[in-house]
Amino acid sequence: MIRLDDIIIQAKNVNFYYGSFKALIDVTIDFEKNKVTALIGPSGCGKSTLLRLLNRMNDLIDGTRVEGEVIFEGANIYASNVDPVDVRRRIGMVFQKPNPFPKSIFNNITYGPKLSGISRKTDLEALVERSLIQASLWNEVKDILSQSAMMLSGGQQQRLCIARALAMKPDVLLMDEPTSALDPISTAKIEELIEELKKNYTIIIVTHNMQQAARVSDYTGFFYLGKLIEYNQTDRLFTTPDVKQTEDYITGRFG
Amino acid sequence: MSRALKEKIIKNVLFLFALVSIIVLALIIIFLFMEGVPIFGVVSLKGFLFGTEWYPTYDPPEFGIWPLIVGSIVVTFFSALIAVPLGVLSAIYIAELAPPLVKEIFKPVIELLAGLPSVVLGFFGMAILAPWLQQTFDLPTGLNILNASLILALMAIPTISSIAEDALYSVPQEFKEASYALGATPFETVTKVVVPAALSGISTAVILGMARAIGETMVVLMVAGGAAAIPESIFDSVRPMPASIAAEMGEAPFRSDHYHALFATGIVLFFMTLGFNLFADYISHKFKEVGSATL
Ligand SMILES: Nc1ncnc2c1ncn2[C@@H]1O[C@H](COP(=O)(O)OP(=O)(O)OP(=O)(O)O)[C@@H](O)[C@H]1O
Ligand SMILES: [Mg+2]
């Protein structure tokens, strides 16, 4: 295992079950603060499952079960006294398919903050501006904040979803194939954005695009059939992988 | 036979079927007007709609249906007051919040309610609710607005609930996930995302439920009491339009003034339900939020 300096979140000996199907097998993985970690692997290997495990989104699916611990800032988020709502406020998520609410751009971004108690109009306005600037969408939408978010292009919608997640000022941002539904230009924009965001956020990104993983991430974990096969610095994993399976996958021999 | 020809035949056959139902509908409406309009030779439109005396068999007869219109509106209004909150809330509960086991029990029970013949509900109103109301509130009769509203509400609840439920189910899962991922509770997700996104469908459900209540005949015939007078309290009897038509049609001589007056009442009822449906249509378009997250 690699040595990391400043660990923000870690999964310890995690097994995860959908009913009787074991989707994650004894996964132990640490994520470093203010870095980008990519999760790669063939379809169905459990990348999304792991990602959703980190902010307890899997709780929403009936019949799932977790064994092991997920330590976030020193505490197990699966401990019985932890409210998943609090976890999700601090660990944001961006989905594969852009999913803005059918509300105005402004209300999309203020949705989360309002729930967590921010109600002053000036505060909300400042937050909207800040989040949109961070998601590099401000210039495109600053004059149409009251329009429906559904009118934006796919790439803009995805950046809006990022802005919406950032408005919660999360510590960690989970991204599940955030560019797989986007065109190359939008994809490039979001990759730039990730580069920019890692100064302030810890990002964990699932991607099927090997070049993308290589471009944006500092660390990469390769998963296969629910197991973490190899975890390493991205440049090492892509140039001199330790495990044969990893090499086969990244050179395109399977998966 | 070539594929194109086959397609063409199928298309035309289906068109024919669609045409038949439209033609039948048109014929019914024409017939309704033909039989109803002659009454306006006896009484003015205003006198008919707003006249407060309905004595079709007196000499001279009076053809004012205002008490009947008020009767219909009043029972529909009070049944809405009961059925809308119950129907919508039960839909929200069943679709979004109920644990699976509870859902499995509630859903079929409500659907069973929808399948109850109205005469059975009417019988329940007559035999059980009416005596109870009469005793509890010390009334001359338990067949009144309150009774009719309660029974009509019972009929409208399943309609409202099941259409509203479908509207809630059709809200994309992605919206809910987005909401949860931002730290919303299930309750916040339902009230702030799911219900607003389903609002057009929920409004349609409400209006269609009410359209059902206003046109419902058997129940009001059995439990509304039948008094053709403008009511002063919810414990008064009324004679809603459908009840009046159903009760009197058998005894009105063919093509008599009374007969025409009943058809004209039918026209009024027709326009009211049409109005409800157009309104439902308008609402469902107006509130329709711009599609799902497409690219
Ligand atoms: N809701 C669910 N119920 C049951 N099984 C599930 C569910 N979601 C995922 N699985 C199963 O768990 C395994 C891992 O799924 P997961 O979605 O994590 O894969 P993934 O690595 O994200 O794949 P992809 O690259 O296609 O998104 C798969 O075998 C899948 O069939
Ligand atoms: Mg996935």
The atom of ligand 1 lying closest to the CA of A223 is 21
Is residue B35, in this structure, part of any structural domain at all?
no
A97 lines ligand 1 (CB under 6 A): no
Provide φ and ψ at B120, rounded to 5°.
-70, -45
Q: In CATH, what is the architecture of A4-99+170-250?
A: 3-Layer(aba) Sandwich (3.40)
- Work out how many CB contacts closer than 8 A connect A with B: 82
How many Cα atoms within 13 Å fall on the side-chain side of residue A121?
0
CA-closest candidate to residue A30, choices A180, A189, A228 = A228
Please name the residue that has the structure tokens 């053809």.
Answer: B63
Secondary structure class of B49 (helix, strand, coil): helix
Distance of CA B121 to the CA centre of its chain: 15
**Ligand 1 geometric centre to CA of A24 (Å):** 10
Does a structural domain hold residue B70?
Answer: yes
Provide DSSP, B173-218. HHHHHHHHHTT--HHHHIIIIIHHHTHHHHHHHHHHHHHHHHH--H
Q: Report the CATH number that the domain containing residue B170 is assigned in CATH.
A: 1.10.3720.10
Residue of B170, B171, B288, B295 best to disrupt the A interface, most CBs of A under 10 A: B295
pLDDT at A4: 72
Question: Is A19 at the interface with chain B, CB within 8 A?
Answer: no
A85 touches chain B (CB under 8 A): yes
Give the number of residues written for chain B: 295
Contact call for residues B155 and B118 (beta carbons, < 8 A): yes
Contact list in B for residue A115 (CB cut-off 8 A) is 182-184, 188, 192
| Chain B residues in contact with A93 (beta carbon < 8 A) | 181
Distance A223 CA to ligand 2 centre (A): 12
Q: Is the ipTM of this complex over 0.90?
A: yes
Contact B113, B183 (CB under 8 A): no
Q: How far apart are CA B136 and CA B138, in angstroms?
A: 6
* Residue (of B22, B36, B19) closest to B269 by Cα position: B36
Q: What is residue A27's predicted lDDT score, i.e. its pLDDT?
A: 96
Upper half-sphere CA count for residue A100 (Cβ side, 13 Å):
33
Q: Evaluate whether residue B188 is within a structural domain.
A: yes
Q: Is A46 in the pocket of ligand 1 (CB under 6 A)?
A: yes
Q: Is there an atom of ligand 1 within 6 Å of A21 CB? A: yes
Q: Quick one: residue A208, left, alpha or beta (phi over 0 = left, psi -120 to 50 = alpha)?
A: alpha
Is B17 among the domain residues?
no
Weakly modelled stretches of chain B, pLDDT under 70 = 287-295
The CB of A44 under 6 Å from ligand 1? The reply is: yes
Give me the pLDDT at residue A253, please: 74
The closest residue, in CA terms, to atom 26 on ligand 1 is A43
- pLDDT (tens place) for every residue of chain A, 255 residues total: 567 778 999 999 999 999 999 999 999 999 999 999 999 999 999 999 999 999 999 999 989 999 999 999 889 999 999 999 999 999 999 999 999 999 999 999 999 999 999 999 999 999 999 999 999 999 999 999 999 999 999 999 999 999 999 999 999 999 999 998 888 988 998 999 999 998 999 999 999 999 999 999 999 999 999 999 999 999 999 999 999 999 999 888 765
Does residue B5 belong to any structural domain of this protein?
Answer: no
Q: Which amino acid is at B117?
A: P
Domains of chain A, by residue range, sit at: 4-99+170-250
**B211 min Cα distance to partner chain A (Å):** 29
d(CA A54, CA A75): 13
Alpha-carbon gap: A89 to the closest alpha carbon of chain B (Å): 5
Query: DSSP string of chain A?
Result: ----SSEEEEEEEEEEEETTEEEEEEEEEEEETT-EEEEE-STTSSHHHHHHHHTTGGGGSTTEEEEEEEEETTEETTSTT--HHHHHHHEEEE-SS----SSBHHHHHHHHHHHTT---HHHHHHHHHHHHHHTT-HHHHTT-TTSBGGGS-HHHHHHHHHHHHHTT--SEEEEESTTTTS-HHHHHHHHHHHHHHTTT-EEEEE-S-HHHHHHH-SEEEEEETTEEEEEEEHHHHHHS-SSHHHHHHHTTS--
Domain count, chain B: 1
Going by alpha carbons, the residue nearest to atom 29 of ligand 1 is A44
Nearest neighbour of B174 by CB, restricted to A62, A95, A153: A95
